[in-house]
Structure 1
Amino acid sequence: MTASSSTPPGPPAPRAPVPGALTAKVRTLAPTMTRSMQRVAETVAGDPAGCAALTVTGLAERTGTSEATVVRTARLLGYPGYRDLRLALAGLAAQQQSGRAPAVTADIAVDDPLADVVAKLAHDEQQTLADTAAALDTVQLGAAVTALAAARRTDIYGVGASGLVAQDLAQKLLRIGLVAHAHSDPHLAVTNAVQLRAGDVAIAITHSGSTGDVIEPLRTAFEHGATTVAVTGRPEGPVSQYADHVLTTSTARESELRPAAMSSRTSQLLVVDCLFTGVLQRTYDTAAPALAASYEALAHRHAPRGGKSGSR
């Protein structure tokens, strides 16, 4: 992409998810589907063995939809056609029979004992991380890492819970000697995005993929030639129109006692850690000394002063 480029890139070519990532894909995309497509997606994820044995006509009859809806759903989930989806369903069914597929947990009830709450949250966190790892496109991740490692400057946009994740990434990059800034104020984000050029990187973090305060600075950065990255739970959302690289996150099911912001932040932090670790690998010769220096500075700051063993 050159600095004069202002036409949004087309959506990344769909990559058929591996069988274990199918349920994660359904959870991620279900909110963007029509009701009839949701029925198809939820049916195949809930009973992969039974659906793998069905023809496209049989699945349409079982879900009360049309053959065209079944095919559209398969394509939205990342498969070239229904035949490819059936093969993935057979693979997922084999995983479940071997005991390698995770179980689905119940929602947290208002009268659940704390021990049950801990167990359910821990399971959901693990499931969210596993789903995100399974669906994460490592080609897109590698391209984003390459851009970050060579960037003159990186701006990261996020609001609310995503703003905390943006701050986390910026602080990580700063500690290995890279120039990075996190922006949660939309006005500051846009005014800074105007200064970006080719060789810079802009990252938008938004679970919904439609947060205007995040999309606008990313669009501005894109139009000024920066390499742009979207970390989102909705890869078909508006933010992806201005992203050179899209990194998809997953979330656990939202409930009254577990808002989406909690689970989405878990998956976003995993992607951030993947980005940071990749950059650290690429820039190890300069990053390792910078990281060691930051540890030493913090250790010195917290060391007792004046011979005293502690503070009042």
Structure 2
Amino acid sequence: MKETFSPSVRALRGVSGAPVLPVTPPDPGALAAKVRTLAPSMTRSMQRVAEAVAGDPAGCAHLTVTALAVRTGTSEATVVRTARLLGYPGYRDLRLALAALAAQQATGAPPAMTADIAVDDPLGDVVTKLAMEEQQTLADTAAQLDMAQLEAAVAALAAARRTDIYGIAASALVGQDLAQKLLRIGLIAHAHADPHLAVTNAVQLRPGDVALAITHSGTTHDVIEPLRAAFDRGATTIAITGRPDGAVTQYADLVLTTSTSRESELRPAAMSSRTSQLLVVDCLFIGVAQRTYEDAAPALSASYEALAHRHSPRSGRA
């Protein structure tokens, strides 16, 4: 049975047990996205630290760990824990990122704008606000994606004997999208939205297979259960989640973190999480297609040809 290991150890394992690059600290420009993504899972004191560094990177970059603790009414230990949760090895690394972010902001680039949708907003304003939020969500997700983890996930999918994908509700739609993309380039992939079928299929997996779970919250039991079953049987496991500290990551060899905009009454998290999940899925698919191009190109061409008649006018038919 495959041993359970911590996120830090998982990040050092390759898809076949060999070491890979450790998790890369986030790009300075992704700091605000990281704070938005992780804030719900932070303690209130950690939230104060995170909000301070995201809101005033230039000011905080000059503060010692003690000074930042005083400014936020927390402790030095809380500051260090917050830095590590945000993806930095220590507070010194966070300060360097803050200085870099402050330098970027000093160039005069306008800050990203966000706006909640009100119940009485004109439809034109709704379109503008949604477009703005979607763009920000995509930019945040792209900025905070760990390239080492993404590369390893692509390699695992490209080499997999079989890929099982688990997701519920909106995440199930994303899983179906990835499955049909992989099928069209000649790979064996199945998306399971039924939790019972997901588990019964997961227990059939073995080393050389891939199981991929999609859950924004990171706590969806119906997604975690089949991923755990696949993990225990030696399959390479991948999680696409908005919560890198969520329960699903306990059984994931590789974790791909998504970002979402703020949740509001008329725009639940499922909307923006789907957008960011689809970006990650597209990155995985393109990466796999590149790696398997000699086989993928003919398979994709054959699938186009097989469906071509369904897109042509049916003249002369009853």
Query: TM-score scaled by structure 2?
Result: 0.92
Residues 1:53 and 2:75 are matched in the alignment:
no
SS at match of 1:246: strand
Moved more, 254-263 or 44-53: 44-53
Q: Contact (CA 8 Å) 1:102, 1:127: kept in 2 or not? A: no
CA RMSD of aligned residues (A): 1.5
Moved more, 80-89 or 173-182: 80-89
Residues 1:153 and 2:150 are matched in the alignment:
no
Residues 1:248 and 2:257 are matched in the alignment:
yes
| Aligned equivalent of 1:62 | 71
Moved more, 224-233 or 78-87: 78-87
Deviation at 1:304, TM superposition (A): 3.0
Q: How many residues align?
A: 306
SS at match of 1:198: coil
Tell me which amino acid in the other structure corresponds to 2:72.
T
Q: Which of the numbers 74, 81, 84 marks the counterpart of 2:83?
A: 74
SS at match of 2:256: strand
Tell me which amino acid in the other structure corresponds to 1:190.
V
Q: Contact (CA 8 Å) 2:153, 2:254: kept in 1 or not? A: yes
Q: Supply the distance in 1 between the matched residues of 2:268 and 2:220 (Cα, whole angstroms).
A: 17
Q: Which of the numbers 224, 228, 236 marks the counterpart of 2:237?
A: 228
Deviation at 1:81, TM superposition (A): 2.0
Deviations 1:232-273 (A, max 9, x none): 111111111111111111111111111000000000000000
Tell me which amino acid in the other structure corresponds to 2:134.
E
Q: Supply the distance in 2 between the matched residues of 1:36 and 1:222 (Cα, whole angstroms).
A: 34
| Aligned equivalent of 1:43 | 52
Residues 1:83 and 2:92 are matched in the alignment:
yes
C-alpha spacing 1:200/1:83, structure 2 compared with 1 (3 Å):
same
Q: Contact (CA 8 Å) 1:230, 1:247: kept in 2 or not? A: yes
Deviation at 1:282, TM superposition (A): 0.7
- Map 1:186-201 onto structure 2 (within 5 A): 186-201=195-210
Deviations 1:16-40 (A, max 9, x none): 2121011111111111110010011
Q: Supply the distance in 2 between the matched residues of 1:262 and 1:95 (Cα, whole angstroms).
A: 30
Which sections of structure 2, spanning at least 5 residues, go unmatched? 12-21
Residues 1:280 and 2:277 are matched in the alignment:
no
Residues 1:136 and 2:145 are matched in the alignment:
yes
Q: Supply the distance in 2 between the matched residues of 1:113 and 1:96 (Cα, whole angstroms).
A: 32
Moved more, 139-148 or 266-275: 139-148
Deviation at 1:119, TM superposition (A): 1.4
**Which aligned segments of 4 or more residues in structure 1 are displaced greater than 6 angstroms?**
none
Deviation at 1:15, TM superposition (A): 2.8
Q: Supply the distance in 2 between the matched residues of 1:207 and 1:94 (Cα, whole angstroms).
A: 32
Deviation at 1:101, TM superposition (A): 5.7
Deviation at 1:94, TM superposition (A): 1.4
Tell me which amino acid in the other structure corresponds to 2:301.
A
Q: Contact (CA 8 Å) 1:9, 1:244: kept in 2 or not? A: no
Q: Contact (CA 8 Å) 1:132, 1:249: kept in 2 or not? A: yes
| Aligned equivalent of 2:41 | 32
Query: TM-score scaled by structure 1?
Result: 0.94
Q: Supply the distance in 1 between the matched residues of 2:158 and 2:24 (Cα, whole angstroms).
A: 25
| Aligned equivalent of 1:213 | 222
Tell me which amino acid in the other structure corresponds to 1:295.
Y
